[in-house]
Amino acid sequence: MYIKMKNNLSFIKFINNSLINLPTPLNIKLTWNMGSLLGICLIIQLISGLFLAFRYSPDINLAFKSINLIMNESWNGFLIRNIHANGASLFFLFIYIHIGRGIYYKSFLFKNTWIIGTLILLLLMMSAFMGYVLPWGQMSFWGSTVITNLMSSIPYFGNSLVQWIWGGFSINNPTLTRFFCIHFIMPFIILMLTMIHIFFLHFTGSNNPLGINSNMMKIKFNPFFTIKDLMGLMVMIIMLIFMIIWLPYFFMDSDNFILANPMVTPVHIQPEWYFLFAYSILRAIPSKLGGVIALMMSIMILFFIPFMNLSKMKSNQFYYLSKLNFWFFFINNILLTWIGMQPVEMPFIFIGQMLSIFYFMFYFLSPIIDLLTDKIIN
């Protein structure tokens, strides 16, 4: 009994030190709210996805019908499905802001936290891709066909790898079943990695806009920052309600409301908006293998950022060239997303190639600019 009470007290003390009395830098901004909002998004996606799984049938003859059944016949099924679909868009919006803030204020210097976060991003993108296949509409089928076929560019065993993923010689019932299983399990893996991410964050402490040691200027997380987080949560809920009530299909492709037909190819195959920047980089390379490598490196390069830093300063707050470089990178990503929506023809091909070059140039120029600025200042 004594041991049980001691364990309970230890757990309460851990929660108290992690969420209530956690020492937090006094000067962090609203962009630091994204972490808590991402946690809420993950919980929303887990709960809504669980309810959708009760009525979904991972069979190519039933999947599309089961989605219609959820939308039209199930009690509040349309609401749950729209929350899940639009919640994914909010999830990626917040995680891109979260990563952008980390790059701008050099949070990547906390290497363990950053690497786990990047791994979470990769798993999230994988889970979102597999979830996009599940409705079994035209864009789901052809989008998954295009993306999985990219692996055939791998020398020697590429074709065998594609057939192994498909479970046959084309995307069929085994593919849909295994995609559904992986999509269902993946969020729980992400949840576990999120806990590790938070553990490392609490172990090292949060970064702050000035990039200085803030041990002498920290305050308790509660109530000062819980109020900020609650305000961010209210804004997120308002955004989600607006999306699911007024614009529930704004981010969905109209072709995905048509049953998948292997004999009819859509005029313009494109992924969801949050993958368009990477899709533009893929299209920019004429070589299939080169495009796949560029696509993978557009995300994998985030793993190497902590080891590329050459500056002594731990924030870009006072580095005006670095700030200019970052906002140029931000605009470049928006343009890459726009290019991904356009047909594969001139001048969009050329523009996409230039933007792809600028995308990778940012990661290599940033440490050089910081180093030069350091030398000028010192």
- Residue 305 reports pLDDT greater than 80: yes
Report domain 14-265's class.
Answer: mainly alpha
Residue 13 pLDDT? 58
CA distances from 37 to 155, 168, 200, 226, 358 (A): 41, 40, 18, 12, 30
Q: How much is the average pLDDT of 209-219?
A: 70
DSSP class of 248: T
Residue 107 pLDDT? 86
Catalytic residues: 202, 206, 228-229, 272
Q: Is 268 annotated as a binding residue?
A: no
Residue 291 CB contacts under 8 Å (≥ 6 apart), including other chains: 150, 153, 281, 282, 283, 284, 285
Q: Is 197 annotated as a binding residue?
A: yes
Task: Locate the domains of the chain by residue range.
Answer: 14-265, 270-377
Q: Tokens for 261? A: 């037909």
Cis peptide before 248 (omega within 30 of 0): no
- Residue 40 reports pLDDT greater than 60: yes
Residue 21 pLDDT? 66
In tens, the pLDDT along 134-173 reads: 999 999 999 899 889 888 888 888 888 999 989 888 888 9
Measured at the alpha carbon of residue 37, what is the angle toward residues 36 and 39, in degrees to the nearest 5? 65
- 51-70 CB burial, b ≥16 within 10 A, e <16: bbeeebbbebeebbebbeeb
CA atoms within 13 A on the CB side of 130: 22
Residue 261 pLDDT? 87
Residue 17 pLDDT? 56
Report domain 270-377's class.
Answer: mainly alpha
Q: Which of 18, 24, 254 is nearest to 140 (CA)?
A: 254
Q: Is 84 annotated as a binding residue?
A: yes
